[in-house]
Amino acid sequence: MNKALQIRVQRDGIVAEGEILKVDSFVNHQVDPSFLNLAGREFYARFKKAGITKILTIEASGIAIAAIAAQYFDVPFVFAKKTESLNLDPDTYETEVYSYTKGKGYQVRVAKKFLLPDDKILILDDFLARGEAALGLVRLCRQAGSSVEGIGILIEKSFQEGAGRIQQEGIPLESLVRIAGFEDGKVIFEQD
Amino acid sequence: MNKALQIRVQRDGIVAEGEILKVDSFVNHQVDPSFLNLAGREFYARFKKAGITKILTIEASGIAIAAIAAQYFDVPFVFAKKTESLNLDPDTYETEVYSYTKGKGYQVRVAKKFLLPDDKILILDDFLARGEAALGLVRLCRQAGSSVEGIGILIEKSFQEGAGRIQQEGIPLESLVRIAGFEDGKVIFEQD
C-alpha cells in the first residue's frame, strides 16, 4: 500500500451512507493532478516490467488517472465509452456492466481498431468494489484477443468481492490504497 | 496556432460526413499523452500570466486535456458532469447545453463547493464549434461568481460561430489549432 496516498484518502475522503467513500474533492469531480501523479508513478513502479503497450480505462473518472499514468509508461490509453455517440466508430467491442450504485446495467464499448491482439493491456480505474467495471474491461480485451497484463486500482474496497474475482481470473492486481471497512464514519485501512 | 499540433491533426484526423473531424485515435477515444503534453505546455505558455487558480472542463473528452494541462499550471481541475450520480453532491450549479451532434439539450452540473467566488478559471475543451459547451461552462462560473480568465481550445472550427460568441462575452480565447473548413475530405487550416 502507498502511505502518501493513504494519508490523502484519510484526510480528504468523506464517508457517506451506504459504505460510500466520497473522493470528489481530489479524484472524481475536482481532481488534484499532484495526487494522480503520485498514483501514476506508483502504478509505473509496480507494472514497469510487464511490457505494457496500452492502458485501458472507463469514462469518466478513470480518464484522469489513465492520462497521467500513461505519461510514465509512455503509451497511449483508451477509455471505454458508456454512451453511444455519432463520433464513435460503429465497429466496437461491447459488454454489459452492472452498476450497483445506479441499480442497472449499462453497455461499455471500445472501437475495435484500438484494441489489438498484440496489445499488452494495463487496466486502470479509481475504485474496485465488486469488480464489475474492471471485469467488463477484461471481457473487452478478451474479445479483442489482447493480453491483460494487470489491473491497477487507486482505492480498493477489500471487504467486497472484486479483488477475489480478479484473482480467480489469474490477473495481477495492484491496489494503491486498500480499505478494510468503515467504522464510526471513518475509513479503516488494510494493514500491509 | 501551434504547428506541431496542426501537423498531427493533419496526419491523424479523419474528415467524416457532416463536417465532422474525427480525432479518436489520439484525442477522444484513444489518447496520446505526448500530444496532450504539447497542448498542455502551450496552454500554459498562453495563460501563465492570468493567475489561474482552477481549470474547468466537461466530461468526458475534456478530462484528459485538463488533467495534463493542470500539471503545468499546478492547480486542480474540475470536470462538469453530464450525468446525475449518487456520488455527486446534490448542491450544484446547473445549466443546459444544446448538442448539435446529438440533436438535443442536456444538463451539465458542478458541485457548488468546487467553484468559488475568488477562483480565476481557465476553461479547457477539445473542440469549439458553435460554442455551446464552452458557454455553458461560462454560465456555471458566473452562477458561482468565479472569474473566467480565459478559454483554451485544442481544435477550433473557425467557420462556425463559437469563437465570435466568446469574443462577444469579452473572454480571451486561445485555440491551438484553427480549422477554416474542409475540402475534398481534407482539413484546411487557418493561416496565422
Q: What is the pLDDT of residues B102-139, one digit of tens each?
A: 789 999 999 999 999 999 999 999 999 999 999 999 99
Rounded-to-integer distance, Cα A62 and Cα A134, Å: 11
Q: What is the pLDDT of residues A56-84, one digit of tens each?
A: 999 999 999 999 999 999 999 999 999 77
Average pLDDT over residues A44-57: 98
Could you tell me the residue range of the domain that residue A56 belongs to?
3-189
**Least confident piece of the model among A130-134, A188-192, B139-143:** A188-192
Residues in a beta bridge with A56: A78, A123
Q: Which of the four pLDDT bands, split at 50, 70 and 90, describes residue B100? A: confident
- Cβ distance of B37 and A89 shorter than 8 Å: no
> Of B64, B56, B55, nearest to B95 (Cα)?
B56
The C-alpha cell 481544435 sits at B155
Tell me the C-alpha to C-alpha distance, in Å, between residue A47 and each of A67, A97, A154, B148: 16, 26, 14, 40
Give pLDDT, residue A86.
63
Chain B CA closest to residue A113: B25
Query: Is A87's pLDDT higher than 70?
Result: no
Report cis status (omega within 30 of 0) of the bond before B180: no
Q: Which of the four pLDDT bands, split at 50, 70 and 90, describes residue B87? A: low
- B104 near A CB under 8 A: no
Give pLDDT, residue A38.
96
- Cβ distance of B86 and A20 shorter than 8 Å: yes
Q: Which of the four pLDDT bands, split at 50, 70 and 90, describes residue A37? A: very high
Residues in a beta bridge with B152: B124, B174
Give pLDDT, residue B2.
82
Q: What is the pLDDT of residues B149-179, one digit of tens each?
A: 999 999 999 999 999 999 999 999 999 999 9
Q: Which of A30, A70, A111 sits opposite B29 (nearest CB)?
A: A111
Rounded-to-integer distance, Cα B125 and Cα A88, Å: 18
Q: Which residues of A touch B66 (CB under 8 A)?
A: 31, 64
Query: Is A2's pLDDT higher than 90?
Result: no
- Cβ distance of A29 and B88 shorter than 8 Å: yes
Q: Which of the four pLDDT bands, split at 50, 70 and 90, describes residue A109? A: very high
- A25 near B CB under 8 A: yes
Give pLDDT, residue A17.
84
Tell me the CA end-to-end span of chain A in Å, nearest whole number. Answer: 7
Q: Which of the four pLDDT bands, split at 50, 70 and 90, describes residue A7? A: very high
Number of H helices, E strands in chain B: 5, 11
Domain CATH for A145: 3.40.50.2020
Closest chain A C-alpha to B173 CA, distance in angstroms: 23
CB B115 within 8 A of CB B137: no
- A20 near B CB under 8 A: yes
Query: Is B90's pLDDT higher than 90?
Result: no
* pTM score, whole prediction: 0.96
Query: Is B55's pLDDT higher than 70?
Result: yes
Residue environment code for B152-181, b if the CB has 16+ CB neighbours within 10 A, otherwise e: bbbbbbbebebbebbeeeebebbbbbbbee
Closest chain B C-alpha to A29 CA, distance in angstroms: 6
Rounded-to-integer distance, Cα B49 and Cα A181, Å: 45
- B30 near A CB under 8 A: yes
**Residue-averaged pLDDT of chain A:** 94
> What is the number of domains present in chain A?
1
Q: Which residues of A touch B60 (CB under 8 A)?
A: 59-60, 63, 79, 81
CB B106 within 8 A of CB A83: no
Complete DSSP assignment for B106-169? EEEEEEGGGS-TT-EEEEEEEEESS-HHHHHHHHHHHHHT-EEEEEEEEEEETTSSHHHHHHHT
Query: B151 is written with which cell numbers?
Result: 478559454
Using CA atoms of A10, A15, A18, A24 in order, give the dihedral in degrees to the nearest 10. -90
Give pLDDT, residue B13.
95
- Cβ distance of A68 and B63 shorter than 8 Å: no
Query: Is A85's pLDDT higher than 80?
Result: no
Q: Which of the four pLDDT bands, split at 50, 70 and 90, describes residue B20? A: confident
Average pLDDT over residues A136-156: 98
Query: Is A102's pLDDT higher than 70?
Result: yes
